Amino acid sequence: KNEVEQSPQNLTAQEGEFITINCSYSVGISALHWLQQHPGGGIVSLFMLSSGKKKHGRLIATINIQEKHSSLHITASHPRDSAVYICAVRAMEYGNKLVFGAGTILRVKS
């Protein structure tokens, strides 16, 4: 069983739609990261969360520590948001190393 599970695995949306990507984890964590990976490999860190909610532009990330769950929301989605979104947790039982989910492939159609 993976310590970090993401859903959905694949998501296709129309431009302008509100998008939610979910992440559940089964280990104790000190922080949770949302990352964006574009074709070709480059990974960019979007958010680091240890509690509550963060917002940056059209992106919102929330975390519920008790339920071991986080969500990434994209408002007014745009084709340039098309990428793989990866949830990663800093897992305390693994010496605070990052443990990654498999990613959610998002495609936004115009």
- Contact residues: another protein, CB under 8 A: 4, 31, 33, 35, 40-45, 48, 86, 88, 90, 95-103
Q: ∠87-5-31 over CA atoms, to 5°? A: 40
Q: Per the structure block, which two tokens stand in for 41? A: 């490999």
CA distance 107 to 20: 13
With respect to another protein, which residue has the nearer C-beta, 74 or 99? 99
Identify whether the C-beta of residue 15 lies closer than 8 Å to the C-beta of residue 109. yes
Distance of CA 77 to the CA centre of its chain: 15
With respect to another protein, which residue has the nearer C-beta, 13 or 86? 86
With respect to another protein, which residue has the nearer C-beta, 13 or 85? 85
